[in-house]
A and B are shown apart, each in its own frame.
Chain A
Amino acid sequence: MSLLPFLLVAFGAGTMSLLTRQRADISGGIGIAGLALAALAGATALVLERVGGPLGWGGGAPLTDVATILVLGTLGGLLMVLAGAGSGTVPRSLPGATLMTLGWAGLALAVGTPQAALVLATAAGATSLLPMLDTGAASDRGAVGAAVVLRVTVGAGIVAAIAAAVLTLGPPADGAIPVRIDDAVAGLALLAVAGAVAARLGVIPFHRAATRLASAAPPSALPLALIWGPVVFALVAVTWLAPSPIDADLAVERGIILVCGLAGVLLGTAAALIHDDLEHVLGYAIATDGGIALLAIGAPAEPVGAAAWTWLLAVAVGRTALAGWVVAVGGRSGSRRLGDLAGWARRSPALAMAFAGATVAAIGWPGSAVFTSRATLASAPLDASFAPAALAIVLAPSLIFVRLLVIGLRRPVPAVRDVPGEARTRLRVATVAALVLAGLGLAVSGGLVGV
């Protein structure tokens, strides 16, 4: 019950912020105050749980893990609102939608049945799209992109909920007939869950909706719709369905998921290296993370559950940090095309620090939480002889960061060199927010904060 204050603040302030969004100042004030209060409530729940021992909890994931995710989500949301406000690209409903999304996410992770958890995670995903529908904040293309993502969200949620009903099929009410799910049906259900997670996380070939949204929506709203919503869905799936609750021989299906996951990582990396605008690069970077998360669904071993949680939390915070940097660096030069950003690192040391932090948070270092969890996910489903190759594949997305850094170290172009003083002052908030997000990402990546 110690999550109750968080939920009350999240739903109360979120609803009020959304209802008053015609008045930007009032709505923003309520939303920002709500985000701060919700983070405080979540942190209090975390401290009470750790100091006072387990409280009453009959749900899914452990309360400490849920509270950690919610606190990091609210802090990330708050910083993205501030970064967006600093660069002048924040949708009015972003604070309210962030609160509501995290409220549903908290319930999804807390409830005790997989169907309810997946349905609530779908509701969280749908809510996270509200900022894309703000008049003035997003273009018509952004609204169309949000509609396409909504289709994917609902479709994935429905498929996963039906598959969960199959995979967790219990005995009939009278208990007279023992239930034995056919292996083929169980395999199809597992593939359906993996497909739903892949679709939500935008893993290639399900990337079209996410990248379409990324290219047209306000960057400050992207982490909520493309990172936190899908990550919560993946966490729910991993919690309840990986490894499969059914005792069946699913080696072929697991092999398919493994190949799809690794291919998604490679293809996502290649796409991010080809595309020429920051939003697409961010979208494909998230897609590569989704490929690695798929490995958890396909892995038969028990320990991948903890590794998947650590990995997904690091992904959520690390990619939010990268999005914060995108907002700040894009706002500084007025363009998000990579050609117009040459020399950004030379002209803005603070943004270079934020980028370095986001990079290290994403890649990790040997022994760090994110590095270890990624290695576990890559090696668990494979024989020892194939594990090094899989590890090399899952480290391939590091090239995305190398490319951005190389561009940043080139000779500065005029758009980067000649930033008006007024814009610099305005963007200080966005830069500071990006720096704090990078620090948060480093803390999670290193295991200082985490599950």
Chain B
Amino acid sequence: MSPGLTALAVAVVAGGVIAVATRDARSTIIATTLVAVGSPILAGTLLLPLALAARLVSALLAAYLLWVAVRGQPATAGSPIGWPAEALVACAAGVAGFAGAMAASGALAGPPEATAAGIALLVAAAAPLFVGRDALRMTIGALLAAQGASLIGAGFAGAPASMDQLALAVLVATLGAVGAALIVRAREGSGGLELGARRPFGARATQSPGTAPGPAGAPGIGRHLGPRP
């Protein structure tokens, strides 16, 4: 058990918990990006500079696309159970994963910290990915799940091959692009991040960047969703 790897695993899981728990859209994106930066290092790709660079570039690209898509829409639904519960669930999953990886350490080639962090990320990502219609949360869930799966793979089979890393970089960038398209579509339809929600009668079709926040009591909701003048 390496203290450095353990600290990195804890940081990655903390990033994942922040990403799924916070209501601020940009904080969510930043936290997801930090997870995407920490995961390849935890997986042991420091010796593969090209693969590491690809992972970092794809993470930044996905973050940029999402950042642009949520411009003027600062709030997401956030976690319905709150960050302490999210953190506890992720920690429990991580501890269970670590124990399992240590027990099977004879058969697993990678660090148990990677397996533990991967399982914790997968558990944290499950709810945003599979429940609800918030386009940003769904995208964040998908990105975190992809990172979690890669960490589990690294924990099982050891440091991944360059091709695996490049493929994951492709998937992260693609999910960022599709997620941005989902967000744009949701905002065009409902004015918010919720897919399929109906825009209130009389609401504007588009919202220009930087529009004022919503009425008091509804932070981050666009002005067009407020009371009609």
Contacts and interface: CB of A to CB of B under 8 A. Distances in A.
Interface residues on B, range: 35 or more
Interface in A97-127: 104, 107, 111-113, 115-117, 119-120, 122-123, 126-127
Interface of A: 104, 107, 111-113, 115-117, 119-120, 122-123, 126-127, 129-130, 133, 135, 140-141, 143-144, 146-147, 150-151, 154-155, 157-158, 161-162, 165-166, 168-173, 177, 179-181
Contacts of B157: 165, 168-170
A122 B171 CA distance: 7
Nearest to B173: A123
A181 B166 contact: no
Interface in B155-212: 156-158, 160-161, 163-164, 166-168, 170-171, 174-175, 177-178, 181-182, 184-186, 188-189, 195-196
Contacts of B181: 130, 133
Contact of A119 (B107, B122, B167, B196): B167
Contacts of B145: 154-155, 158
A127 B174 contact: yes
Contacts of B133: 144, 147
Given A119-B170, A120-B170, A169-B107, A150 B178 contact: yes
A115 B166 CA distance: 11
Contacts of A129: 178
B87 to A, nearest CB: 22
Interface stretch (B16-24, B32-40, B76-84, B146-154): B146-154
Contacts of B166: 116
A168 B158 CA distance: 12
A123 B149 CA distance: 14
Given A127-B178, A150-B178, A155 B130 contact: yes
Contacts of A158: 122, 145-146, 148-149
Contacts of A127: 174, 177-178
B185 A169 contact: no
Interface of B: 106-109, 122, 129-130, 133, 135, 138, 142, 145-146, 148-149, 152-153, 156-158, 160-161, 163-164, 166-168, 170-171, 174-175, 177-178, 181-182, 184-186, 188-189, 195-196
A143 B129 contact: no
Contacts of B177: 127, 130
Contacts of B129: 151, 154-155
A133 B185 contact: yes
B195 A147 contact: yes
Contact of A154 (B106, B152, B175, B182): B175
Nearest to A138: B185
A140 B106 CA distance: 51
Contacts of A146: 182
A147 B135 contact: yes
A112 B161 CA distance: 10
Question: DSSP class of B's interface residues: helix, strand, loop or mixed?
Answer: helix
B167 A115 contact: yes
A120 B173 CA distance: 11
B152 A116 contact: no
Nearest to A104: B170
Contact of A162 (B152, B163, B182): B152
Given A135-B185, A158-B145, A180-B107, 8 more contacts: A115-B153, A115-B164, A140-B195, A144-B196, A150-B182, A154-B142, A162-B149, A169-B157
Contact of B158 (A130, A151, A173): A173
A424 B157 CA distance: 59
Contacts of A170: 109, 157
A51 B7 CA distance: 57
A151 B133 CA distance: 11
A116 B174 CA distance: 14
B163 A116 contact: yes
Contact of B195 (A126, A143, A171): A143
A129 B182 CA distance: 10
B195 A144 contact: yes
Nearest to B118: A162
A135 to B, nearest CB: 6
Residue of A116, A117, A135 with most chain B CB atoms under a 10 A cut-off: A116
B139 to A, nearest CB: 9
B215 to A, nearest CB: 25
Residue of A129, A168, A172, A180 with most chain B CB atoms under a 10 A cut-off: A172
Contacts of B175: 123, 126, 154
A123 B171 contact: yes
Contacts of B174: 104, 123, 126-127
A171 B156 CA distance: 10
A107 B167 CA distance: 9
Nearest to B131: A151
Contact of A116 (B108, B161, B189): B161
11 contacts: A115-B160, A115-B164, A116-B167, A119-B164, A127-B178, A140-B189, A144-B195, A162-B153, A165-B153, A170-B157, A180-B107
Contacts of A154: 129, 142, 145-146, 175
Given A154-B146, A162-B153, A165-B156, A143 B178 contact: no
Contacts of A141: 196
Residue of B109, B157, B178, B186 with most chain A CB atoms under a 10 A cut-off: B178
Contacts of A147: 133, 135, 138, 182, 195
A143 B185 CA distance: 7
Contacts of B135: 147
A177 B181 CA distance: 48
